[in-house]
Structure 1
Amino acid sequence: MLRQAQHDSLSLACYFCVILFFLAPHAFAQTTLQYTDHTYRAGIKSVECYNTAKQGSFPIISLRSNEQLQLAFDDLDGRSRSYYYSLEHCDASWNSSRLSPAEYLQSFMEDRIIDYSYSSGTVQKYIHYEVKFPNQNIIPKLAGNYLLKVYEDADQNKLIITRRVYIASSAVGIAASFVPSNNVARRLNNQKINFEASYTGLNVQNPYNDIKVLVMQNGRAETSILNTRPTFLRGSQLIYNDFNINDFAGGNEFRHFDTRTLKLNSERIARIFKDTANTVLLLGDESRNQNAYLFQYDINGSYYVINQDGRDARTDADYVYVFFNFTPSATLPKGDIYLTGRFNNYELTNANKLQYDATRNRYTMQALLKQGVYDYQYVWVDAASGKASSEPLEGSYFETENDYQLLVYYRPPGSRWEELVGYKVINTGRR
């Protein structure tokens, strides 16, 4: 009897363990920290991180200024949780600077997110969280790259979000311009960035080693170029204009759709279905790799959460299942098509991969997105080479309007870290 009772108790314990595992898988999940923009849980949606001066802007502020960054996200789980956030100082290549928080923060090491509210009048229930910083609890005292980490129960092993943010000083001045590529074969497709960085006032002992400049297109880390050596020096100016550097594929204007209202179809929407869930069927997309450039307004891959039918999009904008379908204009070699934009961190994951429908010769996928305005593009990943590029499906043109962010990093003499000492953005549409 005793042995049977022990067996029954063990079986019951195992049963409850299984039940708990399926009811709360997040409690058992192990997450590996990624020094990139990444969302670690499927139920976390609509993550925004920007300078409060403008929604959707590049997440950079000036050191010791009144500027703030805003982080906002939704938890579709439906019950409030105890979320915390912290900052980690990183170098120009987004490796940890391995500093103690006391060395780069003049405040607490972490802070709890206490500003949250429940959705109102929506089909999809969620809780909206947001926080602005620097604030009285989190104050960076060094310029540089910072990895913003959000996690549950003050336990950094329970990560839910990481975001790259930037705190800059203005010790270095930058002058930049863009020109056609020096590569004759790519002159109609590429945009080359030439620039100068003036470091007057900085104690630079070796300009070839102490200063690095990162050039990003539309804030996208995966296409950025890190300049570790200038072409030549002119007094206290670093000149970067070598024929073969900072040559970017111009790409094409992003595709877009608008779900600010679910009462009528906007430009790119074919049908709207409202039942137990909101569903939007977009018009079909085709390849835009044409001979000529065609202007189309976009927001350079970004997105805005907006609800025209409500008063506060943070809590009354609903979630919508958006159906995408893409028809290739020609037979493609073996490979995969992905849908990317800032809304999914440009990640090439299974969740963002289109499925091929052989009966209709088209690729399809769906995404659960909050009401708003979204930019997106299609990326082709060749099976043979593994190379990812939007050019085979979207085209690439010198005339494309893009933002380029230039960030200057400096390692002070004898220090163990790199500081962000200069920032400039240029737009190819303004000459």
Structure 2
Amino acid sequence: MNIFLKKTSTFLFFLLLMLCHRTGYSFPDVISDTILDNQLQTILFYQSGKINSYPFIDINKPDMSLTLAFDDMSGGYKSFEYQIVYCNFDWTVSELFPDQYLTGPDYGYIENYNFSINTYIRYTNYYVSFPSRGTWFKLTGNYALMVYPAGKKDQPVIIRRFYVVSSSAKVTAEVLRASQARFKAGKQEIDFEVDYQGLDVANPLLDFKVSITQNKRQDNVITHLQPMFVRNNVLIYDYDEENLFDGLSEWRFIDLRPQKFPGQGVHKIVLDSFFRYYLLTDEDRSYLDYAEWSDINGERIIAGETRTLRMNEIDYVKVFFRLSTPYPKDEEIYLFGALSDWKIDPRFKLHYVPEKQLYMTDIFLKQGYYNYYYVIKDPASGKADCFRFQGSHYETENDYLILVYMRSRFYNNWEIVGYSVVNSRIF
């Protein structure tokens, strides 16, 4: 009887721990970068001190941190908190407890904020760097940052993916023109090798997984590759088709920094109760040959007219986009890039105006330099079809992030043991 009671008490204790760990949490089935409050805009997430960098931290570099910044367009002050969550390879939330993947607390407070100054559009700018002092990572792998109003963990308003990595395995990669003749004109091939010398690997064909991300898009990540073969503790990934990405075209761009005169891509600026930026009319580029110019791979650089302006001194302006086409398309057309959080967002949908033969939309953006595409919403997948208005060229400059995951025998989780960022500017 005593043994039974002891076992029952132990079971109830661990059940209580699990309930405490999960109570009040409302996680999506699959974690992705998401903004759940439309009043929150211009979400920036990067390695501290490196704007537009990939959001990863090296577990062996305790001086590294990530910075999150955003604007609340409703103004005033609100109290926000954040939570660090461990995820599986497929971005579902792990069942591990925080003390299994972190030292220190898994939560923190966003205490830094500034009200906008000398702007026509009022807002409050918030920012935080994490992990906080006393918190560090025990495991590498996929993580998520959940931001929510204070005391409302079941109501996240911002979700950001990030990675904790190590360099236990050496990744050597290159971006090539596609090998097969039918893909040569428009696709890029990512070949790479993984040297896992020194790691305790039971079955190299089953104990590793990889992911390849183009720029920061989350809708076309390649995750299904298996090594073609293994040679002297080196995994070889040298496919002809499975590792291909559309090269697409260099990104369109606009410069919204100047207020006194139109910047690049801007036709005119009008000021009444706020600034209105009317852009030059864009054309379909899918039939054009490749044209080279510098871009920032779909990103944005938030900046005002002068470099001395702080983030809370940079204004929001209404931007009027126009895409010329003589007849309406059957599909839905959207703006796409970092400005739309790298996804199809209804706020960035364009509408056809027959009398002008234009697709048009207007949206408030914070001043800065922006890249963007016009994309079609694929009716089957709901993802962005970037080819339709840009075309695709093997010469286009793109970044690729390669992550190598290894199965941990201790928790049966997938840890990141190697990574590489490689650029296609080799042609």
Q: TM-score, normalized by length of structure 2?
A: 0.90
The answer for the alignment partner of 2:49 in structure 1 is 53
TM-superposed CA distance for 1:161, in Å, is: 0.4
Contact 1:31 1:40 survives alignment (8 Å): no
Contact 1:381 1:389 survives alignment (8 Å): yes
Q: TM-score, normalized by length of structure 1?
A: 0.89
Contact 1:338 1:354 survives alignment (8 Å): yes
Contact 1:334 1:383 survives alignment (8 Å): no
TM-superposed CA distance for 1:140, in Å, is: 2.1
TM-superposed CA distance for 1:228, in Å, is: 4.3
1:367–1:32 distance in 2 versus 1, CA, 3 Å: farther
1:275–1:155 distance in 2 versus 1, CA, 3 Å: same
1:139–1:382 distance in 2 versus 1, CA, 3 Å: closer
Whole-Å separation in 1 of the counterparts to 2:199 and 2:216 = 27
The answer for the alignment partner of 1:81 in structure 2 is 78
The answer for the alignment partner of 2:137 in structure 1 is 140
1:91–1:382 distance in 2 versus 1, CA, 3 Å: closer
1:134–1:82 distance in 2 versus 1, CA, 3 Å: same
TM-superposed CA distance for 1:105, in Å, is: 1.1
Contact 2:343 2:383 survives alignment (8 Å): no
The answer for the alignment partner of 2:250 in structure 1 is 253
1:119–1:224 distance in 2 versus 1, CA, 3 Å: same
Identify which of 311, 328, 336 aligns with 1:314: 311
The answer for the alignment partner of 1:363 in structure 2 is 359
Amino acid at match of 1:365: T
The answer for the alignment partner of 2:390 in structure 1 is 394
Whole-Å separation in 2 of the counterparts to 1:42 and 1:53 = 27
1:170–1:310 distance in 2 versus 1, CA, 3 Å: closer
TM-superposed CA distance for 1:291, in Å, is: 4.3
Equivalences for 1:155-304 in 2 at 5 Å?
155-304=152-301
1:31–1:287 distance in 2 versus 1, CA, 3 Å: farther
TM-superposed CA distance for 1:245, in Å, is: 1.6
TM-superposed CA distance for 1:376, in Å, is: 0.5
Contact 1:217 1:403 survives alignment (8 Å): yes
Contact 1:49 1:72 survives alignment (8 Å): yes
TM-superposed CA distance for 1:135, in Å, is: 2.3
Whole-Å separation in 2 of the counterparts to 1:417 and 1:154 = 30
The answer for the alignment partner of 2:104 in structure 1 is 107
Identity of aligned residues (%): 34
Please list the CA deviations of residues 97-118 of structure 1 after superposition, one character each: whole Å capped at 9, or x if unmatched.
2111111110112111111111
How many residue pairs get aligned? The number is 401
The answer for the alignment partner of 2:88 in structure 1 is 91
Identify which of 368, 372, 392 aligns with 2:368: 372
Please list the CA deviations of residues 33-54 of structure 1 after superposition, one character each: whole Å capped at 9, or x if unmatched.
3611111111101100001231
Is 1:42 the equivalent of 2:38? yes
Secondary structure of the structure 1 residue equivalent to 2:161 = strand
Whole-Å separation in 1 of the counterparts to 2:414 and 2:381 = 35
Whole-Å separation in 1 of the counterparts to 2:306 and 2:366 = 13
- Could you list the runs of 5+ residues in structure 2 that have no partner in the other structure? 1-24
Amino acid at match of 1:142: L
Whole-Å separation in 2 of the counterparts to 1:387 and 1:244 = 21
- Could you list the runs of 5+ residues in structure 1 that have no partner in the other structure? 1-29
TM-superposed CA distance for 1:406, in Å, is: 0.4
Whole-Å separation in 2 of the counterparts to 1:149 and 1:386 = 24
Amino acid at match of 1:322: V
1:110–1:287 distance in 2 versus 1, CA, 3 Å: same
Whole-Å separation in 2 of the counterparts to 1:181 and 1:201 = 33
Contact 1:133 1:139 survives alignment (8 Å): no
Is 1:126 the equivalent of 2:123? yes
The answer for the alignment partner of 1:27 in structure 2 is none
Amino acid at match of 2:404: V
The answer for the alignment partner of 2:19 in structure 1 is none
Whole-Å separation in 1 of the counterparts to 2:133 and 2:197 = 33
Secondary structure of the structure 1 residue equivalent to 2:221 = strand
Contact 1:305 1:313 survives alignment (8 Å): no
Contact 1:230 1:238 survives alignment (8 Å): yes
Amino acid at match of 1:402: N
Please list the CA deviations of residues 227-249 of structure 1 after superposition, one character each: whole Å capped at 9, or x if unmatched.
44111110210000122221111
Contact 2:176 2:424 survives alignment (8 Å): no
Whole-Å separation in 2 of the counterparts to 1:338 and 1:394 = 13
1:119–1:157 distance in 2 versus 1, CA, 3 Å: same
Please list the CA deviations of residues 239-287 of structure 1 after superposition, one character each: whole Å capped at 9, or x if unmatched.
0012222111101111111111211111210111111121111100001
1:176–1:155 distance in 2 versus 1, CA, 3 Å: same
Amino acid at match of 1:121: N
Amino acid at match of 1:319: Y
Amino acid at match of 1:381: K
Contact 1:203 1:412 survives alignment (8 Å): no
Contact 2:27 2:93 survives alignment (8 Å): no
Please list the CA deviations of residues 330-367 of structure 1 after superposition, one character each: whole Å capped at 9, or x if unmatched.
65651111101112212213211111111111101112
TM-superposed CA distance for 1:430, in Å, is: 4.2
Please list the CA deviations of residues 362-406 of structure 1 after superposition, one character each: whole Å capped at 9, or x if unmatched.
101112111111110011135588664111111100000000110
Whole-Å separation in 2 of the counterparts to 1:180 and 1:430 = 9
Whole-Å separation in 2 of the counterparts to 1:219 and 1:349 = 16
